[in-house]
Amino acid sequence: MTALAAALALLVAAAPDAPPAPAPVADPPLLKGMPRVTSMSLADALAELDRQNPTLEEARSRAAAALGVVRQAAAPLLPNLSVGGGYFHNNADAVFLRPVTPTTFEPIYIQPLDAWYGSAALRVPLVVPEAWFSVAAARDSALAAAEASSATRLTVRAALVQSAWTAWAGDEVVAASERAVASARSQADAARRMLGAGTGTPLAVLQAETSAIRRESDLVAARSERSRARIAVGVLLGRPDPVSITMPPMPTAADYDVESLFREALDARPELRASAAVVRAYEKQQSAAMWRLAPQLSASGGAQGQTVPFPTGDKGGWRVSVDLTWTLYDGGLRYGKADQAAAQASEARAAETGTRLQVLQEVQNAARDVEVARQRLRLARQERETASSAAASARRGFGEGITSSLDVLSANDALYGSEIQVANASARLGGSLAALDRAVGRSP
C-alpha cells in the first residue's frame, strides 16, 4: 500500500459520523373545533355570494327601503278611506215633537239620550302638484339606491374573485414549499452519503440540514397563510367554514384600448347612473318646493248612520263635496325647501363629476396593472425555467463532484423563490383582471 493510499484510509477512518437526519415535519394536527374546508367552483361560489353575502343583503335592504319611501310619497295622490263608530250617552236628551196629523206627533231627536253610530269617509285628491314632483323625486332616489346596490354587488364579486386567486396562490406556494422540502431533504441525504463515503464534509451536511429546516418552516407558514385566505373566502360567502374555490384557467393576453374601456365604463358603471339619479331627485325636490304655492283640489264624500234618527228623520245620511286648498303664504317654508334642494342638487352634480373622473382613473390604473402583471408573470416564468435548469445542473454536478453542496442549496433556493414568484404573479394577474372588470362595470 502506498503512502497516499494509507493517508486516505486514515482520513476516512477518522471522518466523523454524519449528523442524524431529523424527522421531516408532518402536517400539524387540526385544531379542535376547526371546520373542514369546503370546495366549490367559481360559478357556484358567485351564485352563493349573491344569495347570502351580508354586504349584498344590506345593499338590497337599503334599495327596498327606498321603494318604501316612494309609496309614502305617493300617498297624497291616492284616495283615503276611513271608517269609525261607537256608542255615546248624553246627560240629557232633547226631543222635538212635530205634528204629523191633528192627533199624531213625530219625535225629532235634537240630542238623543244614547245611540250607537257609524261613519265612513272618502277623500280623493284631484290636483296636487307638489306631490307629483315629490313622487318623481322619490322614484329617482329609489333608482339611485338600486344602482348603488348593483355597484356594491360588482365590488363584492370582484373582491371574491381576488380573494379566490389569493387562496389559489396559497395552494401553489404550499405545493412549491413541499417540493422545496423534498429537494432539501434529498440534498441532505446526498451530503450525508458523500460524508460517509469520505468525499463530503460535515459542514456540507449541516448546511443542507439547515436549508431543509428553513424550507419546512416556510411550509408551515405557507399552510397558515393558505388557511387564512380560505377563511377570508368563506367570510365573503357568509360561511363560518373555510372555502377552497377551483379557479378557471388564466385568460390569454389581450390588447386593451383605453378609450374603448372609458366608453364602456361610462355606459356600464352603476355608480354613474346612481349619481345622475341623485341629481334628478334633488332637482325635482326643488320643483316640488316651488309648487307648494299652487292650489290643491280634492273631492270628499262621507256616510253616517246611528240607531236613533237624525233631525231629518232618517237613521243614515251622506255628503259629498269638492274642496279647494290654497296656501298663499307658509312663512317662507317653500323658499327654504327650494334653496336647500338647489344646494343639494349642486353638491350632487359636483359629486357626479368627481365620480366620473374617479371611474376614468380606475380604468387607467386597472389596465396598467393588468399589463404590468402580465409582464411580471412572463418574467417570473422565464426565471423559473432558468432556475430549474440551474438547479438540475447543480445537482448533476454535485453527484459528479464538480459543484459543491452550497452551490446546490443556492440553486434550490433560487428555484423555490422563482416558483413563489410565479404563484404570486399569477394571482396578481387574476386579481388585476378582476379589478379591470370591476372598473369597466363588468360582472365576473
pLDDT of amino acid 31? 62
Distances (CA, A) of 211 to 15, 207, 286, 372: 23, 6, 73, 33
Does 29 map to a domain?
Answer: no
Does 315 map to a domain?
Answer: no
Query: What's the chain's average pLDDT?
Result: 88
CA dihedral 123, 127, 128, 133 (to 10 degrees): 140
Instruction: Give the residue with greater pLDDT, 256 vs 14.
Output: 256
Does 202 map to a domain?
Answer: yes
Q: Which helix (H) or strand (E) holds 89?
A: strand 80-89
Does 88 map to a domain?
Answer: no
Does 349 map to a domain?
Answer: yes
Does 344 map to a domain?
Answer: yes
Q: How far apart are CA 366 and CA 162, in angstroms?
A: 13
**Least confident residue range of 116-125, 195-204, 237-246:** 195-204
Does 16 map to a domain?
Answer: no
Does 154 map to a domain?
Answer: yes
Tell me which residue range forms the domain holding 160. 34-79+128-293+332-440
pLDDT of amino acid 28? 52
pLDDT of amino acid 287? 93
CATH code of 359's domain: 1.20.1600.10
pLDDT of amino acid 413? 94
pLDDT of amino acid 29? 53
pLDDT of amino acid 30? 55
pLDDT of amino acid 196? 86
Q: What is the pTM of this model?
A: 0.81
- Of 205, 206, 211, which Cα lies nearest the Cα of 190? 205
How many domains, in total, are found in the chain? 1
- Neighbouring residues of 209: CB distance < 8 A, sequence distance ≥ 6: 19, 21, 22, 188
pLDDT of amino acid 331? 85
Could you tell me the pLDDT band of residue 444, with boundaries at 50, 70 and 90?
confident
Mean pLDDT of 303-318: 89
Mean pLDDT of 59-64: 94
The residue type found at 442 is: R
